[in-house]
Chain A
Amino acid sequence: MSSSWDVIVDALPVLAQGSVVTLKITVISLFFALLIGLLFGLMSTSRSKVLRGIATAYVDFLRGTPLLVQIFFIYFGLPPVLDIKIPETTAGILALSLNAGAYLAEIFRGGILSIDKGQMEAARSLGLTHGKAMRLVILPQAVRRMIPAFVNQFIVTLKDTSLLTVIGIRELMNSGEIIISGNFRSFEIWAVVAVFYFLMIYILSLLSRSLERRFAK
């Protein structure tokens, strides 16, 4: 049997490749999730009952089912019924975006509601439309308060990408599993996989902390 160090060195390039895929999927998913979250967050704080109803239904449904079920449903369940082909990366990004979007919608809603009512009233009395008041007055203040919650969701989503191993996406988790199924060295490989996830999230946290310092004032 080869030494632990050799096993780790052999695995590094494959695991690094997996990490790149993990990061890519995380970033793209979070981009869409932010758009979804903003849209449904605004809808859930709007005065229209219909829009609020749609937003609540979306959040309740996506938050009320496990991400793993959503991944399987989108990738294995939908294609035969709709008679379409969904590539695994598209399906993975779709599932993660929809899921994280629901959580982000709640973060947006909470942030928006945390801003004093008087702000909106003052902006409206200055002659701003509801949309303009939201964009220029409410959201800039709300987003500042939301940063810690955002960062939390980013970290969760990065870790959630590991579930995509079930649909064959070669991200970090899948790469680790493939290596172990070939060399049976669970101990070394899982240790390195853990370190890789940790490093990615640690760097992300550092970035977000400096971001927070810049915006929090």
Chain B
Amino acid sequence: MKKLMFAVVSSLLALTVSACGSGTDQASTTSGQSGAKKYVIGTDATYPPFEFEKDGKYVGIDIDLINAIAKEEGFEVEIKPMDFKGIIPAVQAKQLDGAIAGISITDKRKEILDFSEPYYQAGLSLVVREDNTTINGEADLAGKTIAIKKGTTGATFADELGKKYGATVKYFDDSPSMFQEVQNGNADVTIEDYPVISYKITVDPASKLKIVGDRLNGDHYGIAVLKGNKELQDKLNSGLKKLKENGKYDEIINTYLSTKK
């Protein structure tokens, strides 16, 4: 059985490798008209205030930032929305040149991607239903159910909490699903980046959610690029620096968040 499995797996692998051999590097293209370099940038369009859709257009802190950087540095951006859990694999697979999606910089991710300088400090918060009075901090999680989004730092954190306190972790594809899970009472708590959940509670009071306890950590967001893509990484860093100096960065942040950082 083991031998058969190995044979099937390895022949499958061989087939796929040979089929993909010619397809590398299709992500970066130069646009014909302006001659400016065009980068395909992935994002998770269900993540207000960092990226979401409004009146048929992608908006949010991350979207405005990457567009402003592109303008400063003279390159074009094609925004590709997808599930958050698919973004990092897509960069790895060279389907994307980079990604901006509230991606926290972690050591594990740095092994497979390069990051720009940090551009925002987020940090995780526990979120429960308004009528929940039993959970006031991570120590109250024993026997509870945590809803979480696949591939996030919140998911890694929930995994650890789950083991430590004996909580069940349920994985979803996007933030709206995990919020709905808590609203419907099928999970007791979710873990989300602080600015995202505070924005959600502000614009959607009907969600009946509240933040409990202190921020659990201090993750920094960075713009991910394909490993070794020094050219894009340098442009991003230089663009970020210019935006911070000329005040445009603060302007973007303040458009979406009343309280800075």
Contact A181 B181 (CB under 8 A): no
Contact A184 B171 (CB under 8 A): no
Residue of A166, A174, A184 near B177 (CB, 8 A) is A166
Contact A182 B156 (CB under 8 A): yes
Restricting to B108-151, which residues have a CB under 8 Å from any CB of A?
108-109, 111-112, 147, 150-151
A165 cross-chain contacts in B, Cβ below 8 A: 173
Task: Describe B's contact surface by its main secondary structure.
Answer: helix
B173 cross-chain contacts in A, Cβ below 8 A: 165-166, 177
Interface centre among B88, B108, B150 (most CB of A within 10 A): B150
| In the assembled complex, A21 has its CB within 8 A of some CB on chain B | no
The residue in chain A whose Cβ has the minimal distance to the Cβ of B173 is A166
Contact B89 A186 (CB under 8 A): yes
The residue in chain A whose Cβ has the minimal distance to the Cβ of B109 is A184
Contact B9 A76 (CB under 8 A): no
The residue in chain B whose Cβ has the minimal distance to the Cβ of A198 is B8
| In the assembled complex, A79 has its CB within 8 A of some CB on chain B | yes
Known A184-B88, A184-B112, A186-B89; contact A76-B184, beta-carbon cutoff 8 A: yes
Contact B186 A191 (CB under 8 A): no
- Contact indicator per residue, chain A 175-217, by CB within 8 Å of chain B (1) or not (0): 0011011101011100110110010000000000000000000
Contact A168 B171 (CB under 8 A): yes
Contact B186 A88 (CB under 8 A): yes
Contact B92 A76 (CB under 8 A): no
| In the assembled complex, B155 has its CB within 8 A of some CB on chain A | yes
Contact A1 B111 (CB under 8 A): yes
**Docked pose: A165 CA to B185 CA in angstroms:** 19
Kindly state the interface size class of chain A when it binds its partner: 20 to 34
The residue in chain A whose Cβ has the minimal distance to the Cβ of B149 is A181
The residue in chain A whose Cβ has the minimal distance to the Cβ of B92 is A184
Min CB distance B23 to A, Å, is 14
Restricting to B229-251, which residues have a CB under 8 Å from any CB of A?
none
The residue in chain B whose Cβ has the minimal distance to the Cβ of A181 is B151
Known A166-B177, A168-B172; contact A184-B89, beta-carbon cutoff 8 A: yes
**Docked pose: A180 CA to B151 CA in angstroms:** 8
Known A178-B150, A184-B112; contact A168-B185, beta-carbon cutoff 8 A: no
A53 cross-chain contacts in B, Cβ below 8 A: none
**Docked pose: A199 CA to B16 CA in angstroms:** 19
- Contact indicator per residue, chain A 82-100, by CB within 8 Å of chain B (1) or not (0): 0001111000000000000
B170 cross-chain contacts in A, Cβ below 8 A: 88, 168, 170
Contact A194 B12 (CB under 8 A): yes
| In the assembled complex, B93 has its CB within 8 A of some CB on chain A | yes
| In the assembled complex, A80 has its CB within 8 A of some CB on chain B | yes
| In the assembled complex, B31 has its CB within 8 A of some CB on chain A | no
Contact B89 A76 (CB under 8 A): no
**Docked pose: A177 CA to B155 CA in angstroms:** 12
The residue in chain B whose Cβ has the minimal distance to the Cβ of A4 is B13
Contact A191 B12 (CB under 8 A): yes
Contact B186 A87 (CB under 8 A): yes
- Contact indicator per residue, chain B 83-94, by CB within 8 Å of chain A (1) or not (0): 001001100110
Min CB distance B21 to A, Å, is 14
The residue in chain A whose Cβ has the minimal distance to the Cβ of B111 is A1
Contact A177 B150 (CB under 8 A): yes
Min CB distance B145 to A, Å, is 10
Min CB distance B186 to A, Å, is 6
A188 cross-chain contacts in B, Cβ below 8 A: 13
| In the assembled complex, A8 has its CB within 8 A of some CB on chain B | yes
Min CB distance A89 to B, Å, is 11
**Docked pose: A4 CA to B16 CA in angstroms:** 15
B88 cross-chain contacts in A, Cβ below 8 A: 181, 184
Contact B177 A167 (CB under 8 A): yes
| In the assembled complex, B180 has its CB within 8 A of some CB on chain A | yes
B198 cross-chain contacts in A, Cβ below 8 A: none
Residue of B8, B155, B184 near A195 (CB, 8 A) is B8
Interface CB pairs A-B, < 8 A, 12: A76-B184, A85-B185, A87-B186, A88-B186, A165-B173, A177-B151, A180-B85, A181-B152, A184-B92, A186-B92, A188-B13, A198-B8
**Interface, chain A (partner B; CB < 8 A):** 1, 4, 8, 76, 79-80, 85-88, 165-168, 170, 174, 177-178, 180-182, 184, 186-188, 191-192, 194-195, 198
Instruction: Give 5 closest A-B pairs by Cβ, nearest first.
Output: A181-B151, A168-B170, A186-B89, A79-B184, A181-B150
